[in-house]
Chain A
Amino acid sequence: MRGRQRVAEPDEKLMQRTSRGDLAAFGELFDRHQPAVYAFLSRFLGNATWAEDVVQEVFWRVWRYRHSFDSAQRFAAWLYGIARHTALTEARRSHHQELSLDQLPAGERETGATNEGGAWSDDGLVEDLTLREQVRLALQKLPPDQRSCLILREYEQRSYQEIAAILECTPENARVLAFRARRTLRTLLEDHFQAEGSCV
């Protein structure tokens, strides 16, 4: 017997149900979008723990302001708009300070920096971790709009129309933001690039 294939309900329909107080629909939206929003916030804020707090706040705002959702707009754009605004607000409000290893107390520094287990002996792993840290720091040096735009374009492969809706700008502006962000990143990560040629 062939089972009937279940068609996923569009986000906008789920959001309409959510706005009527349907917690199941809200849970479904959370399941669908939480991973992507969390990843976006991790990249944007550069701190996984912080991103975890903010993503919870984002979905709480989705619930809290569910009545303000306009069913004519895309849910994803609305959600990412909330995520972006929340992240910016939290970044302004919070004073998250990161300590370098040198700033750690002596005991913690020794514990954190030793390599007794040989876990860091893999050069590839060290290289990947180093690159990851470099990318994280480089992203943090971008202006917020450029950072948002680049993350949405590069990691989530969103169209410039979608990015423009999230960033509340024109698609052309979003294109320019991505271009500038790439250029800045290329400068910040220049160690990984070879010398360029010249126009003939």
Chain B
Amino acid sequence: VSEPNECPFLIEVHRLREGEIDATRAGEVRQHMARCSSCRAEYESWDRLSELLARGDPASPLVPERQRRMKDKLLQDGAASLDEAGDAPRRQSAPRWRMPVRIALGLAPLAAALLLLLHLGPGVRPGEPRSPRVAAHSGAALPEAQHEALPRQRQIAVAPELPLPRVQTNPKVSPRAVKRLAIPKDRPPAALTRRREDAKTGRSNRQNPGHPSSRLRVFASSRSTGNPFTAQGKRRRRALRPYRIADASRSVPAPRDRSQGSAFRRTRAAAPAGKRMVASHEAGLAAPRPIERLVIQVDGPPSVRPVEASTATHITVIATGDPAAPGAQLTVVKSQREETLP
């Protein structure tokens, strides 16, 4: 530390000033300082510097009122984050192999949107009045007290009765603008509001691709069917038909929920009692096809690419096949809490 032409005791003087040498050594250094004006000046300069730093301390305490406001804001944000995330204890850091799981968790609200569409049938928008049949079922699906406890972001119904086809998500396929299910501006799903809330606080969570407010890109399929936006894909897509709820006489299995680890939950979704899910174009046919393909697309303003949660305006769900066919099952991966909605 010391320079070549400096006294070799300089380091010891520094240690003495810091109180880091024993009494014997301190005595020796003091004896040296009595003879060495340079070391003495060095020692005194440290004292002088400490005095100057104390007198010229640039810090001043925060005004108690501002301190209180800051604390209130933090506690408020903390409580909101607890409500939002369910606040299950998490690991310190997720290993890389869990990244796809995180992505799947982030897509949970969209999967719930899919269920909503399956229940509502094609062409029904959240802002429009629903058919009495669906509305009656939605009201019966939950106890009254549970309805009251739900925050308004929970809009998507999951009625656990009839098993639906299994869904696999593949976030690699880019979205395409197909407007079918409009998200009302005043009632965006939870995944969309979260991004907005974060924008309010100025905090970004883009670094977590599994976060619900990360970019919404969904392609879900029960099989590998290739790119749905190529010519071949478009032909296949023309053949796709959304599902609707139809009356059915056959019995359906009882609802069953089960937990899969601490981080996510799988929920079986089904149609209301006495009804089953059938493909609209195959309703009434003798041999329904099992579920083949399921596509969820999210789109925002044309100028914004890629679509982010804060800019998403539409969700389109396209499905084909028969979710009521033997062996067909729809599995919804959800993060930490249920989003059961009227």
Given the complex, which residues of A lie within 8 Å of B79, measured CB to CB? 23
Which of these binds chain B: A73-81, A108-116, A182-190? A182-190
Is A39 within 8 A of B59, CB to CB? yes
Given the complex, which residues of A lie within 8 Å of B66, measured CB to CB? 52
| B57 contacts the other chain (CB 8 A) | yes
Residue on A nearest B51 in the bound complex, by CB: A192
Q: A143-179 CB contact bits vs B (8 Å, 1 = yes)? A: 0000000000011000000000000000000011001
Given the complex, which residues of B lie within 8 Å of A179, measured CB to CB? 1, 14
Given the complex, which residues of A lie within 8 Å of B92, measured CB to CB? 67-68
Residue on A nearest B46 in the bound complex, by CB: A182
* Contact pick for A63, options B39, B48, B57, B81, CB 8 Å: B81
Given the complex, which residues of B lie within 8 Å of A120, measured CB to CB? none
| B338 contacts the other chain (CB 8 A) | no
Is B71 within 8 A of A186, CB to CB? no
| B87 contacts the other chain (CB 8 A) | yes
Given the complex, which residues of A lie within 8 Å of B41, measured CB to CB? 196-197
Is B58 within 8 A of A135, CB to CB? yes
Q: Looking at chain A's contact residues, is the secondary structure mostly helix, strand, loop, or mixed?
A: helix
Is B49 within 8 A of A186, CB to CB? yes
Is B87 within 8 A of A34, CB to CB? no
Interchain Cβ contacts within 8 Å, total number: 123
In chain B, positions 95-149 with a C-beta closer than 8 Å to chain A are none
How big is the A interface, by class? Answer: 35 or more
In chain A, positions 3-60 with a C-beta closer than 8 Å to chain B are 19-21, 23, 26-27, 30-31, 34-35, 38-40, 42-43, 46, 48, 52, 55-56, 59-60
Given the complex, which residues of B lie within 8 Å of A26, measured CB to CB? 74-75, 78
Given the complex, which residues of A lie within 8 Å of B91, measured CB to CB? 67
Q: B79-92 CB contact bits vs A (8 Å, 1 = yes)? A: 10110000101111
| A100 contacts the other chain (CB 8 A) | no
Query: What are 27 A-B residue pairs whose CB atoms fall within 8 Å in the complex?
Result: A19-B89, A20-B89, A21-B82, A31-B71, A34-B71, A35-B62, A48-B59, A59-B70, A63-B77, A64-B81, A67-B89, A67-B92, A68-B93, A132-B56, A135-B52, A135-B57, A136-B56, A139-B58, A155-B57, A155-B59, A179-B1, A186-B45, A186-B49, A189-B49, A189-B52, A193-B48, A199-B7
Apart from the given pairs A39-B61, A135-B57, 19 other A-B contacts in the complex at a CB distance below 8 Å: A27-B71, A27-B75, A35-B61, A42-B59, A42-B60, A43-B58, A48-B59, A63-B81, A64-B81, A128-B56, A131-B52, A132-B55, A135-B58, A154-B50, A155-B59, A179-B14, A186-B45, A196-B45, A200-B37
